[in-house]
């Protein structure tokens, strides 16, 4: 039966000769009969040699001109897993930018067994699920880490008591994260090399932080527009008062247009959430809700009656509906 050299060596189909060599040397050292007492070590060592020779024989050299300092594509370099976390900040912190402490846990080689998973000298046997390669094909025929052996390709008869034979331990990491101004919920920060640590076979993964905003007691963010609802005296709407409005940048003043004492929406361009890159700043959108007095003192009552009388004197202009009703039914 033909042996799949990629499966035997735990390689992806698009792997390159440099990766073949690394995988061959790693497995050959592990399964050399002089270094491994497993009864199947000799047969396994022969399979590894045959697989490597099969790959070399099938590799047809091509003449390709490229710069001497050409870098191997990142996709061809094995990588340790990335870590993805949420970074919670306030709306004000997102608008102005901030620095936030972050504490998280990632793996590291076990200090007791130096990552071997073994307790002292022990006998090893290879994993039958992955045939000692440490990798298996998933349902989509993609090579993934073998779950049976944790990607080690073998089991030991005396496992490390501190890591349970996994060869891994946890490491507490503390970082200070610089959040640039104008980031929105769902935006990501990438910290290269701050994911799971690498080793001789793979480079370190990255840390991805997704921005999440705390719930705000006043503002609602829609895109980059900042919305909020504000109660306002009905007389201020009638008279067109000068009012103070809270914004993410401080308090600003706005002159209302005189009009009906009913709900209205005002929009202040560019006063919302700050822009970022090609995206301009949003608007401040305020929904004004009129509030009528629930009680009046004597002085306030007198002033309002005087204002009412002054309005009635020019009712045809100020309150045409009342003027028309009075003309029809009071004869005035």
Average pLDDT for 81-93 = 94
68-82, 256-270, 300-314: which range is least confident on average?
68-82
DSSP string, 281-310: P--EEEEEEEE--S---HHHHHHHHHHHHH
- Asked whether residue 45 is assigned to any structural domain, the reply reads yes
Same domain, residue pair 98 and 187 = yes
Average pLDDT for 83-88 = 94
Domain of residue 169, residue span: 78-122+158-213
Same domain, residue pair 110 and 175 = yes
Task: State the pLDDT at residue 70.
Answer: 41
Percent of the chain at pLDDT exceeding 90: 42
Same domain, residue pair 199 and 261 = no
Residue 68 has pLDDT above 70, yes or no: no
Q: How far apart are CA 92 and CA 161, in angstroms?
A: 48
pLDDT digits (tens, 9 = 90+) for 281-329: 999 999 999 999 999 999 999 999 999 899 888 888 888 898 898 888 8
Average pLDDT, the chain: 83
Same domain, residue pair 87 and 169 = yes
pLDDT digits (tens, 9 = 90+) for 92-113: 999 999 999 999 988 777 766 6
In the chain, the number of structural domains is 3
Task: State the pLDDT at residue 132.
Answer: 72
Same domain, residue pair 95 and 198 = yes
Strand 220-222, strand 225-233: pairing: antiparallel
pLDDT digits (tens, 9 = 90+) for 231-242: 999 999 999 999
Q: How far apart are CA 86 and CA 135, in angstroms?
A: 30
> 3-state DSSP call for residue 30?
helix
Same domain, residue pair 38 and 162 = no
Residue 121 has pLDDT above 60, yes or no: no
Q: How far apart are CA 323 and CA 9, in angstroms?
A: 96
DSSP string, 253-277: EEEPPP--SS-EEEEETT-SSPPBT
CATH number at residue 25: 1.10.287.110
What CA–CA distances, in Å, run from 105 to 84, 170, 194? 11, 6, 11
CATH number at residue 209: 2.60.260.20
- Asked whether residue 284 is assigned to any structural domain, the reply reads yes
- Asked whether residue 265 is assigned to any structural domain, the reply reads yes
Same domain, residue pair 112 and 171 = yes
- Asked whether residue 103 is assigned to any structural domain, the reply reads yes
- Asked whether residue 138 is assigned to any structural domain, the reply reads no
Which of these, 45, 46, 47, 29, lies nearest to 116 by C-alpha position?
A: 29
Count of residues in the chain: 332
What torsion, rounded to 10 degrees, do the Cα atoms 6, 12, 15, 18 define? Answer: -70
């Amino acid at each position: 039966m033909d042996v799949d050299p990629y499966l035997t060596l735990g390689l992806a189909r698009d792997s390159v000769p440099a990766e073949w060599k690394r995988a061959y040397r790693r497995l050959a050292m592990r399964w050399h009969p002089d270094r491994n007492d497993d009864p199947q070590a000799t047969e396994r060592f022969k399979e590894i040699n045959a697989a490597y020779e099969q790959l070399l024989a099938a590799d047809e050299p091509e003449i390709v001109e490229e710069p001497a300092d050409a870098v191997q594509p990142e996709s061809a370099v094995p990588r340790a897993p990335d870590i993805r976390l949420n970074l919670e900040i306030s709306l004000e912190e997102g608008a102005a930018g901030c620095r936030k402490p972050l504490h998280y846990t990632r793996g590291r080689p076990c200090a007791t067994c130096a990552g071997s998973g073994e307790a002292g000298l022990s006998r090893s046997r290879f994993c039958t699920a992955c045939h000692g390669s440490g990798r298996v094909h998933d349902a989509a025929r993609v090579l993934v880490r073998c779950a049976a052996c944790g990607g080690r390709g073998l089991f030991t008869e005396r496992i490390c008591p501190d890591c349970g034979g996994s060869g891994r331990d946890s490491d507490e990491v503390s970082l200070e994260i610089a959040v640039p101004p104008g980031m929105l919920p769902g935006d990501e920060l990438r910290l290269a090399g701050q994911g799971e640590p690498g080793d001789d076979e793979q480079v370190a993964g990255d840390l991805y932080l997704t921005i999440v905003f705390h719930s705000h007691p006043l503002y609602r963010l829609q895109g980059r527009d900042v919305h909020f609802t504000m109660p306002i005296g009905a007389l201020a709407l009638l008279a067109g008062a000068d009012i103070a409005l809270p914004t993410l940048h401080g308090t600003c003043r706005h002159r209302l247009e005189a009009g009906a004492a009913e709900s209205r929406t005002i929009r202040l361009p560019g006063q919302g959430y700050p822009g970022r890159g090609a995206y301009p700043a949003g608007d401040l959108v305020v929904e004004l809700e009129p509030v009528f007095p629930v009680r009046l003192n004597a002085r306030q009552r007198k002033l309002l009656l005087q204002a009412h009388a002054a309005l009635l004197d020019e009712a045809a202009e100020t309150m045409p509906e009342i003027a028309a009703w009075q003309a029809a039914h009071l004869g005035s």
